[in-house]
Structure formats: structure tokens, C-alpha cells
Amino acid sequence: MARPRPVEFEKKKVVAENRRARYDYFLEQFFEAGIALTGTEVKSLRFGEGSIAESYAELKDDQVWLINSNVPEFSHGNRFNHEPKRARKLLLHGREIDKMRNAVSREGMTLIPLSIYFNSHGRAKVELALAKGKKLHDKRDTEKARDWKREQQRLLRDRG
């Protein structure tokens, strides 16, 4: 049986993406969360700067925090500029936080940010996923399947 398609959120402008996450993890459940940002962070993100390549989300005291994400300082931010690698609070409903806490504590899953984007209302959002880490042989299988699909497309293109 095929895996169900992931939930699609309304993404207008993607700022940062964690492309390696789909290779390193089995993504199970998806969440959309708001981010508590300062003014200069929003301006910096609107310019398309920011990285979530090595970041992760963590549960602390009934709150979810985005750790190790990099939003560089705004060029015209003077003394009110923000700290680039500070922990940022993610805004979620209590039910969603409870689901995440149960999955992380019982099933050994991890919270991985997949992308930061602006939705159609101009709000900065983070797409989070509950994920399980892949073993080395799982990664090899993923690569093998991807290479075979690429080869199939090549063969179909050459024949047709």
C-alpha cells in the first residue's frame, strides 16, 4: 500500500527549505505553525534570507521552540537588530502540542522544520513534521528508487 500524500499548506513565498530532511527522515505527520518574530527578523526573511538546514524543534514547558535556525541580521537594522541564531517560539494549538509531546516521548520521534514561508495573508509560517530517522540501508533504498525512476523517465523519453 502506498504512503498517503503529505498535507499541502498554502505557501505563497518559500524563504528557507530543509531539503535534506526527506532524505534523512521518514516524515509521518505535518503541522503548520506561526513564528514569534521581531520586526528586523521579518524584514530579513522578506528579503529571502534565512536557513533551517541544521535546525530542529524542541518541546519545553508546554511550548515549542525552533532551535538553531539562522535569520541573518537586517542590513538597515541599527541597534534594534536581532540575534541571528536565537531560539524562536512557534505558535501552535494545545492539541497539536499534546500530539507532538506524546509522539516524541513515547515513539521516539523528532520534530523537524521543513520550510519557512509566507502564506497568502503575509504571515511567516513554519512547516513542521514528526519524523523518524532513517538507517543507512533505508537511505540506500531511497537512492535506488530515485535512480530507477530517473532511468524510467529517460527510457520513456527516448522511446516515445
- What average pLDDT does the chain have? 88
Return the half-sphere exposure (C-beta side, CA atoms, 13 A cut-off) of residue 25. 21
Render 108-145 in DSSP notation, one character per residue.
--EEEEEEEEE-TTS-EEEEEEEEEEPPHHHHHHHHHH
Tens digit of each residue's pLDDT (9 = 90 or more) over 19-33: 888 888 889 899 999
Tens digits of residue pLDDT in 44-65: 888 888 889 989 999 999 999 9
Pairing verdict, β 56-60 and 25-35: unpaired
Q: Which domains are present in the chain?
A: 13-134 (2.40.280.10)
Ranges under pLDDT 50 in the chain: none
